[in-house]
Amino acid sequence: MEIYKFLREKGKKTVSDVVEVVGLTQPTVSYHLKSMKEAGILLSERAGKEVYYFINEACPTSGHDCVLKGVDFHN
């Protein structure tokens, strides 16, 4: 959830960016990013050697806005 919240607030970020904020190891963050991407929650794009992850605004199953988009994570 912390990874999702960070990407939602900050936009496209690398694995290293996420590691610095959430306080998990790089392999752990990479595993979670991969799982979230496979589930359709995240998308990624490569820029040179870096891979940037960002929120998939469309629901992976229906193409409509994702239900998580409307969740207030600040409470």
User: Which is more confident, 26 or 40?
Assistant: 26
Confidence of residue 39 (pLDDT cuts 50, 70, 90): confident
Confidence of residue 40 (pLDDT cuts 50, 70, 90): confident
Domain-by-domain residue ranges, the chain? 2-70
Q: What CATH architecture is 2-70?
A: Orthogonal Bundle (1.10)
Give the dihedral sign, CA 50/55/61/62.
negative
**Type and span of the H or E element at 47:** strand 42-47
pTM of the model: 0.78
Least confident window among 25-29, 51-55, 67-71: 67-71
Mean pLDDT of the chain: 84
